[in-house]
Amino acid sequence: MVKITIDGKEVTASPECTILEAATKAGFRIPTLCHLKGINDVGACRVCVVEIEGVEKLVTSCNITVRDGMSVLTASPRVREARRTVVELLLSEHDCNCPTCPQNGKCDLQSLAEKLGVRTQKYHSSAPQGEPDTSSPSLVKDPRKCILCYRCVSVCDRVQSMGIWTIAGAGGHTQVVPEGGAPLAHTACTYCGQCVVSCPVGALSEKDDRDVAWELLNSRKQGKRIVTQVAPAVRASWGEALGLPRSVATPGRLVAALKHIGFDLVFDTCFAADVTVIEEAAELLRRAGLVEGQRSHGGPNARRMPMFTSCCPAWVRFLGAEYPEFLPCLSSAKSPQQMFGALAKTYWAQSFGVGAGDIRVLSLMPCTAKKYEASLDVMSSSGFRDVDVTLTTREISSLIMEEGVRVENLPEVDFDSPLGLASGAGVIFGSTGGVMEAALRTAYYLATGKNPPVDAFRVVRGTGGRREAEFDVAGKTLTVAVVHGLGNARMLLEDIKAKRVAYDFVEVMACPGGCAGGGGQPYAQGFEYNPEAGARAQTLYGIDDKAPVRFAHENPAVIELYDKFLKTPGGELSEKLLHTDHRLWGIQARSRRVMAAAAT
């Protein structure tokens, strides 16, 4: 431990920590903007500068470590002047049309200007020119808002290992652009949206589909039925942007708020997640040779191990772009979002006597890549699009706000039946490890005819980048792994390729923390990366703990679905409606990036 003085107060700190960390821990508040702890420590914005006794220059507190005896001033007149000047300079090159910005009210730059008391603008204002890049189905980049903090660059490179965002030009012409300066849709971008949640301003956002959702509501007048599904992770985070405590922002109040807006059939994606569990578990047992059976999807490689989960479209895109040779390892199961849509327009349509063409499916997802997935042509097994429009958690909070719903005054309402009934297994889908745990619970049952103890597979929970476990299922040892974050996924694939590891079943979620930390979740503020993912996951596990049904295969609505409609998991109808061949998604393989020469 070292002793330092901050604004006259003696503080002890561990020698590896930065001045910023030491000060924050000791209760001081140093403003930051570009810093993202452990990920973006380039010191680009210079907002966090402090004065150090005996050092002539001001020093960035985010990337300089403490030293014994250091004496730091966090808010001296020099520091205040510098910070304010830096923010004024930034504002002079920022499109300050705040009221129409997706980050309005949540923007770090806006709140920084307020915190630092910036009221004047002494520089000639010259926001950059250029139109937003709206080429992709998921993400929008607006160069006029970008403040070149480089968070997106670092997150995409260091966390997701993709390196899609690059820096072009230099000096006053520096820009953050997609690789090669191409429109985003022409790159290998996975649409995970981790750059979006990390952007401190409104330069990155999801493709805005709120107006499409409002139009859907209007289409009821033409006799359309609007069927809404709510993804697991959305229920754990929807209240954050509305400033509601978790105790108020319950799943039941979300259903109530949606009904208040006019979405009268509010179902649960967790129901479809239960179906996914059953389909995937059955496929795993077949692939692992625990039961007999042939696959129609996946061709000759359909038995290839390991089996990868397939519910994360950003992960599927990653695999198709970077490791296309592994596509046959993906479970052919569609994601719960798409299964839900396909079932709504067939099973539910039949049971309730509604024509599939008269149904519109709206999904509420914690995810930007789901917009891409829903837009794929192959996702229309009922003859109509499985899902008509996908909104992120941020967009749904915005709709609730726009409608003026007083959420806290609403009584809680249950999801509608039958597609709203879900087991706890379906709920934990929203967290890293959740799909694995849910699938193993059912795989065990399908293989042995007995339920395992409900907590048998708990060890796959956690936050470690890669977690491994072995389980005995019907006399066979299944080796499983769970990874989250595409950088971890890449390392896992490299290890598999080099035969350093071998698994039977691997769960991959592109976003750190899983869907709980998804790219469609509320913007994070401050310098912690993905700060809420852990708490959201806890909410989901809490729901599972209290759920009356914990096994997907015991969900009565699901049992009825198979009895009356699908018959068997992996059967003919399931294959048609609930499975997909990922090679038909049309993902462009990325040319291998050249390794840096040994000499440089």
Partner 1 sequence: MSYVRAPSPDRMESVIAEMTTSMQHRIALAPAGICPVEMTMVFLRLCHAQSCGKCVPCRIGLGKMADIISDLIDGRGDPSLLSTLEATARTVRDTSDCVLGVHAGSMVLRNLDEFLNDFQSHALESRCVGIFAGPIPCQSACPAGVNVPGYIALIREGKPKEAVALIREANPLPTVCALICDHPCEAHCRRRMLDDAVNIRGLKRYAVESSGDVPLPEPLPPTGKKVAVVGGGPAGLTCAYYLALWGHDVTIFEKYPKLGGMLRYGIPEYRLPKALLDKEIERILSLGIPAKTSFEIGKDASIEGLRREYDAVFLAIGCHEDRKLGIEGEEGPDVVSAVSFLRQVISGPLPVLRGKIVAVVGGGNVAMDAARTAVRLGAREVKLVYRRRREDMPADPKEVTGALEEGVDLIDLASPVRVTRNERGAVTGLIIRPMVAGPIDDSGRPKPVPSGRPDETVECDVIIVAIGQSSESARFKEEGIPTNKDLVVAGEDLSVPGVPGVFAGGDCVSGPSTAVKAIGHGKTAALNIHVYLGGEPVETARHPIPPARPSDMMPSGRVELKERSPLVRVRDFRMVEKGMSAEEALREAHRCLRCDHYGCAPLRSGRWYAWSR
Cβ-based nearer residue to partner 1, 18 or 335: 18
Q: Which does 201 bind (CB under 5 to 8 A by kind): partner 1, ligand SF4, none?
A: ligand SF4
Q: Which of residues 453-492 bind partner 1 (CB under 8 A)?
A: 463-466, 485, 487-488, 490-491
DSSP-derived secondary structure letter, 203:
T
Q: Going residue by residue from 103 to 132, which x/- string records binding to partner 1, judged by CB under 8 A?
A: --------------------------x---
Cβ-based nearer residue to ligand SF4, 128 or 571: 128
65 interacts with partner 1 by CB under 8 A: yes
Q: Which does 342 bind (CB under 5 to 8 A by kind): ligand SF4, partner 1, none?
A: none
Q: How many CA atoms lie within 13 Å of 586's alpha carbon, on the beta-carbon side?
A: 9
User: What is the nearest approach in angstroms of ligand SF4 to the Cβ of residue 32?
Assistant: 13
B/e letters for 527-543, b = 16+ CB within 10 Å, e = fewer, are bebbebbeebbebbbeb
DSSP-derived secondary structure letter, 562:
I
Footprint of ligand SF4 on this chain (CB under 6 A)?
Answer: 146-152, 176, 198-199, 201, 203-204
Burial of 563 (0-12, 13-18, 19+ CB in 10 A): exposed
167 interacts with partner 1 by CB under 8 A: yes
| Token reading at 202 | 């409104």
Cβ-based nearer residue to partner 1, 400 or 460: 460
52 interacts with partner 1 by CB under 8 A: yes
Q: 446-450 contacts: CB < 8 A, separation 24 or more?
A: 446/278, 446/281, 446/282, 446/285, 446/291, 446/553, 446/569, 447/285, 447/290, 447/291, 447/473, 447/474, 448/473, 448/474
User: What is the nearest approach in angstroms of partner 1 to the Cβ of residue 471?
Assistant: 23
For the chain, the first-to-last Cα distance in angstroms comes to: 37
User: What is the nearest approach in angstroms of ligand SF4 to the Cβ of residue 252?
Assistant: 35
3-state secondary structure 334-377: CCHHHHHHHHHHHHHHHHCCCCHHHEEEEEEECCCHHHHHHHCC
3-state secondary structure 374-437: HHCCCCCCCCCCCCCEEEEHHHHHHHHHHHCCCHHHCCCCCCCCCCCCCCHHHHHHHCCCHHHH
Cβ-based nearer residue to partner 1, 174 or 448: 174
User: What is the nearest approach in angstroms of partner 1 to the Cβ of residue 180?
Assistant: 10
Cβ-based nearer residue to ligand SF4, 423 or 530: 530
Helices 108-115 and 77-92 sit at what angle, rounded to 10 degrees?
140
User: What is the nearest approach in angstroms of ligand SF4 to the Cβ of residue 203?
Assistant: 4
Q: Which does 310 bind (CB under 5 to 8 A by kind): partner 1, ligand SF4, none?
A: none
Q: Where do runs of H (alpha helix) occur along 498-550?
A: 533-546
Cβ-based nearer residue to ligand SF4, 146 or 249: 146
363 interacts with partner 1 by CB under 8 A: no
39 interacts with partner 1 by CB under 8 A: yes
Cβ-based nearer residue to ligand SF4, 167 or 589: 167
Contact residues for partner 1, defined by CB under 8 A: 16, 39, 41-42, 44, 52, 55-57, 59, 63-65, 67, 129, 150, 153-154, 157-163, 167-171, 173-174, 181, 463-466, 485, 487-488, 490-491, 494, 498, 512, 595, 597-600
